[in-house]
Amino acid sequence: MKFISEKDVKGKTILLRADINSEVIKKKVLMSDRIKATAETIKSLKKRHAKIVVLAHQSRPGKSDFISLNQHAKLINKITKIKFVDDIYGYKAKKEIQSLKNGEALLLENVRFLKEEFMTGKTKFVDVLSSLCDVYVNDALSVSHRAQASVVSFPKYMESYAGPILEKELNGLKKIKLKNCVYILGGAKPDDNIHLIGKNKILTCGLFGPMCLVASGIKLGAEENYLKKNIKNYNKILKNLKIKLKKYEKYVELPVDFAVDEKGKRINLEIKKFPNNFETYDIGSETIKKYIQEIKKAKSVYVKGPAGYYTKKNFLKGTSEILRAISESSAFSLLGGGDLDAAMKMSGISSKKFGYVSLSGGALLQFIAGKKLPGLAALGFYKK
């Protein structure tokens, strides 16, 4: 694997696959650590007199936060100048790329707007951008688990490098020993979590907690309907979970209560009060206590995603108390996914209290589960 930090990039047009996928609330993109870190990468490449063309995504087709990257460009612009182009490889994009000067950067539109992003081989998308740019840089471990064109196809046709964020993430991961680790698996993407069942003790939360309860035969009512509506491939995930939970039941801790919203107030409901008409917004107080006991016993802890709807003040508690318990324990901790950094800030806990805080979620999880990530393979990471 080669690193862009070691290459002379003066005058080179760099196709930079970044990850600026961020939380969106009421159609507004929130500033995130991914956006800040990517802006720093762009800034450093500009200083080195490169021309930078950024390819990135926001969310996935079908989701409510699957939107344009124009707001992301505005956020990057708070740190370093970048021009947004509402095109990816058409006439407009070509013209803008060809007129870039040394030290200038542009951000192309959401790459997942293109059907070619989900296709293999040298599509017109790959052909056009690879001929307009000199080198390809993957600067996102966080998207390297996706075998999508912007991650795996360009390295087949271009000189390719790992960017500074990816380099830092890989260095961070070298420090971690994951034997006898407690996994705290939350966040909004329960499908990713299945890969880790059967490896170590798991404390389930986020959307994964309710998913596991449903898979173990508990009826949740409104929350179950929410999951059915919002989780892509719900039935398939549920089927896989049922099989895994049956086999590895002893490894998996399930929530024993939840916090719900009753007329703007946080109310605690034990599992026996379900099914009901409440969607669950956080793990409840007994679950928090139970999980903190497990954290106290752990030698190392890996947290993926928040325990609940942490951006709503009333429902930050689960995530916040879990983070506090980890920050006070002597266990080595690795955190990634669901913008845990934002949850840390909201809880008033410094990121310095944790072993390593990654910008990756699902990709980090697959890396930990020992899976080969296609994006890293494309850069030659696994070659001896």
Which residues of the shown chain bind ligand 3PG in the complex (CB under 6 A)?
19, 21, 60, 142-143, 146, 189, 361-362
As measured in angstroms, the least distance from the Cβ of 93 to ligand 3PG is 22
- Nearer residue to ligand 3PG within complex by CB, 100 or 231: 231
- Nearer residue to ligand 3PG within complex by CB, 284 or 362: 362
As measured in angstroms, the least distance from the Cβ of 207 to ligand 3PG is 13
- What is the C-alpha to C-alpha distance for residues 301 and 124, in angstroms, rounded to an integer? 44
- Nearer residue to ligand 3PG within complex by CB, 144 or 347: 144
3-state DSSP call for residue 296?
A: helix
As measured in angstroms, the least distance from the Cβ of 19 to ligand 3PG is 5
- What is the C-alpha to C-alpha distance for residues 318 and 342, in angstroms, rounded to an integer? 14
- Output the residue with the shortest Cβ distance to ligand 3PG: 21
- The token pair that represents 43 in the structure block: 């800034």
- What is the C-alpha to C-alpha distance for residues 325 and 102, in angstroms, rounded to an integer? 48
As measured in angstroms, the least distance from the Cβ of 332 to ligand 3PG is 23
Q: Are 57 and 111 in contact (CB under 8 A)?
A: yes
- Nearer residue to ligand 3PG within complex by CB, 313 or 372: 372
As measured in angstroms, the least distance from the Cβ of 269 to ligand 3PG is 30
- Nearer residue to ligand 3PG within complex by CB, 142 or 204: 142
CA dihedral 357, 363, 367, 369 (to 10 degrees): 110
- Nearer residue to ligand 3PG within complex by CB, 95 or 371: 371
As measured in angstroms, the least distance from the Cβ of 189 to ligand 3PG is 6
Distance set, CA 48 to CA 16, 41, 64, 158, 276 (Å)? 14, 11, 38, 20, 59
Radius of gyration in angstroms for the set of CA atoms belonging to the chain, rounded to a whole number: 21
- What is the C-alpha to C-alpha distance for residues 312 and 314, in angstroms, rounded to an integer? 6
> Amino acid letter at 315?
F
- What is the C-alpha to C-alpha distance for residues 84 and 138, in angstroms, rounded to an integer? 20
- Those residues whose C-beta lies under 8 Å from the C-beta of residue 174, and which sit 6 or more positions away, are none
As measured in angstroms, the least distance from the Cβ of 154 to ligand 3PG is 17
- Nearer residue to ligand 3PG within complex by CB, 191 or 282: 191
- What is the C-alpha to C-alpha distance for residues 302 and 295, in angstroms, rounded to an integer? 10
